[in-house]
Structure formats: structure tokens, C-alpha cells
Structure 1
């Protein structure tokens, strides 16, 4: 009996074998050189330039948003610099009819999906208009509750499957979000029903101030998808080509009825967790900052495109100036939006007022009319 157990019972070896299989998928290295030619998506020159344009534009949007926040002209804001490849290259693999269920750091994806920038600014301010999506835009408002979008994405994906739609629901969270119960419930539900969902974990190394290695004893977050029976991959999240390929592959399999996927993108946020008082210098060293600065997705992609003769300093300057102009116009439009009132909040909540609110509503109508 003991001999049979020794031959067939080695849980630790099974764990090690699974973990060892998760090697990071990369196409474009830190020097902007293709190191995995077979996996190169061979995007057209126009597509490569468009993806770079979106990344540069979003970096400027992040810089301006931080400045606006410090001026008191924005409310809640979670910086995105460093995660442009993870966010925008994954979005670039989607179709317009796909659904996005973002976390609070994932505003860039929904802006490029069609959310007007001025509404994104209003979302930051907590204005209800910022959560009113234009007709035909398949986006849910950014989720503030950590990980809750994973359960919602599983439900939306199942709905798409039941309708026979050839589309996917994609959602994002960070490495900290993978410690939430909703994360496990979402991937398990989607896996059980083979729902066309794409779950992305942007592993930016720190859940606020908690380093990734304290989040879980698992060697990778990607391996957690195996327990839910779904295809999972670990990707260089600073490599836009690798992120694009991984997401497109996940989408192709999902619409072909092969079920959901979990993608862990290894990346880094250069700024604080949010602008609400977080100080990353208290938990991150200059050494790790410098290490990841050398992996900057925009610098990497710039080198690659310049080598192909597709990008130049002049082109980048044009994108930067365009971004500044459009951001200025968007914040002006947000400023001109009527301030929300107490009566707006009540009216948006209730179609028919309960009796206990009727009197209060009349009081505020009178106050607001003065």
C-alpha cells in the first residue's frame, strides 16, 4: 500500500509541474526587437501606428488627469502610466459589439471603445451623467468594488451565449482583485457554462501597497484559471504585440464556443494606486521603479516602429498636441455640464417616489428653484 502511494501520490510534484508550464509569453523585447517571429501578429503598418497613437495619447491623458486632479478639477482618479500595452493592446483585439466591464483604472479602454472623454471626466467627479453610456456603446460603468466586475462579466458573457451573439465580454482587475471571492466565482461560473468571457488580471506588482508575493503563494495568477477549467496564459504586459495576440486568441476561441480565458499581464503602474493619498515611495524602492522604467511599453514600441520607419519624433509630437487639445475641450465641456442636484439623484433612483420621500423632494425642488 505504502509503495503504491509513493508511486502515484505526489501533490507537490503536480503543483510544480503546473506552475512550471506558465512561462511568460513575449513577442517584442525591451529593446524593441521581435524575439518570437512565429507569434508576430503581422498587423498592418496602419494598425501598428494606430495602436501606438492610442498608447501615446493615453499617456498624455494620464499626465493631464493627474494635473487636473491636483488642481481640484477631477475627483477620483487611478493613474494608468505603464499599463498602456496591457490596456490598449487588449482592447485593440476586440470588436465594437463586444462588451467591456472595466475596473476603476480601465477608463482608457472604454474611452477608445466610444465613451466621450468629457463623460469620463464627469465619472471621475462622481456626476451621474458620467455613467450614462451613449446608445449602442457596450460598456458598463467602471466598477469601484474590487473584483465585482468579474461576476458581472460572467453573467454578461452567458447572456451573449444564450442570444447566439458572436461577441465576448471582457473584464479587468489587478493582482489584488484576484484575491477577492468574486474573482473565483466569476471564472468558475464562466468556465462551467463555457461563457464567452475574457478575464484579464493586470498584475502591476502591488495591490495598493501590498506586493504581489504577499497576495498569494501561487507562482502565477494565471494558473488559478486552471482550477476553473479555463485556458490561461501569462503574458508580458509591457509588450503590446504579445497582449494583442493573447487577447485575440482568447476572443477567437470564445466566439467559437470554446469558453472563457484568463490572461495575466505582467506590468507596472508608474504612479500611485490612486490620487487619493497613496504614496508609492513608502512601499516601492527606486531600484524596482528603475527596473520597470526600462520596460516602458511606449519606449519599447517606439523603438520597434522607428526601426520599421513608421514612427518619428514629429509624429509623436502631433499626437501629443492633439491629445492636449482634445483634453482641454473635454474638460471645458465637463465644466459646462449642469451640476447635479439632490432632485436629480432622487429622480434617477425612483420612477415613483415613495411617500416618505415625496415631502423631501418638494422641499429640495423649492430650494433648488431659488
Structure 2
């Protein structure tokens, strides 16, 4: 039998990625390119979209050549339908619409959040964990139930990645390779813990007030030499991650699950993984996490999730291959979950 192959496009934020994946989760290629701005600056939608337009076609060529496949081998074209930033999302949507008509290949629109989960599951082997999804634009605690990925807790304002990125701008840290990574490295040198607000509201968290507080503290304490930038990064990480561990553990107790899967760009953070691993161990469970190859936005996760849907009869008509900045994780019917897992276990 011919193996099923998908070509996936991810461009919801500052990374444009193109991946080639087979239905069994084999990643044949996964190139990407990141739009990096000067220290102290974030990335704006228009400039990010221009970056994606510049790099998307070379990435398609690289992905096909690395995978050693031709167009006739591709069964479907998958793209990020949302959520994300409007202008960057538009690039992938337009490219896929054009290529679909040129190559006569069907389209599958993919939820970015669900794609992170499915990529994490296939790479780590996690079967049915509680998922902590942490990135620049999202913070959610998720578990699968009755055909959908249900959200049990989330941020009520800004995402944790956005909180870390904005504080990195205050300290004028480099955006290369990412502001969150540079905060993590600086936090390892911190020695003094500074008390910060701790805002957990049931199963939800709030980060905007903590960010405002530490921004004011940074200006005053650094001016008076009361602490170092490393101390501030260390204190911010410890506080935010403790909040995430708390709501994740609460979801585990509610869902009666022992394992945790961390996905999303912030999920690469070794300190967050370490704290979560201790909590899981105390509950007799296991932590599943990946490195920056898969936890950071990439085309392979879109290709794989789209291919799962395509293999179960789901496609996106050309006239509906649009994009949206708001696309909830729990809006997607995971039609592949139960049947696909039964097939895997029987082989």
C-alpha cells in the first residue's frame, strides 16, 4: 500500500515552517525560518507576513528535497487555519490555496493548538495525558474527553509566553533565538527570590498583573542595586511556573489522569519541565515533553494533524480555506483519536 504523506504549512506567529510527514508520524522533513527583531522590540503582523512571504517557497522546495519526494507523493496540503496573528496566517492560507489549484491536491485546515498536542503525543508516545499548552499566544490545561480536547483551565488575559517576552523587552534581552530562551538562561544565574503576585483563580491563571508589578519592581530595584536582572528572571519563572503546576495538578485530580504532556514554545523550558516532573513523580505519573524541534511552531505538526483528519475523510473546500485569529481548541472534533489509536494498538 502507498504510504500517505502530507505537506504542512505553519505561519501563525513569527515562524514560517513547512513539514512533510507520513501517517505513522514519521517526519521526513521539517525546515522553518524565524523572524527575529532587534532587542526591546516585538514582531508586528505586517512585517512578520513579509518575512513569511519571502521564505515560504524556498522552504517548500527544501522540505520536498529533504524528504526525497515529488508532488505526486503528496496526498494533502495542510495549513494553520488559526488561532494566530491575522497577517502571518494569511500567508499560509493563500499559498496553500494557490498550490492546491496548481497541483490538484486537497486542502485540510488545522487548529494550531490541536496540532501541538498531536505532535507531542506522536513524538513522545504519550497516550492520554493531561496537556499543558504554553506558548506566546496561548496558555491552556487540556484533556481529551468524548471526541474533543476539553479546556479545563486557561489564562484569563495574556499568555505566559507573551508575559515572558514582554519582560525580556524591559531588560533589553536579545530575541535571538527567542526572548523566552534568554530569560531562561539568565534565570539560571539568579540567587535572590523576589516575592511577586501569585494569581490562580480556580482553574484559571492571570499574568498581566504580575507583569505590571515586576516591570515596576525592575525599574526601582535595578536602579537601587537591590537585585540583578538574573534575580528578576529567576523570580518571574518560579512564580509563573508554580501557578502552572498547581492548575495542571488540579486537572489531573479532576480527570483521574497520572501523566502530563507539555507542548508549545514555552514547553521547551527546562525549569518548567523539572518542576512538572517532580509533581508527576509524586503522583505516580510521568512527564512527557519535547525539545525545540517539536515544541516550537513547525510545519510537521500541521502536516501530521491534517493528515490524521484527511485519513478519516476530512478536507477543507477551497471556498472555506480561510483563516481566523480565534479558533478554540475545544471547537475541533478529533475524529481520528479513538479509531486511530485502536488501529495502532492492534498492529
Q: Which has the higher helix share?
A: 1
Structure showing greater radius of gyration is 1
TM-score normalised to structure 2 length: 0.29
Relative contact order, higher structure (CA 8 A, sep 6+) = 2
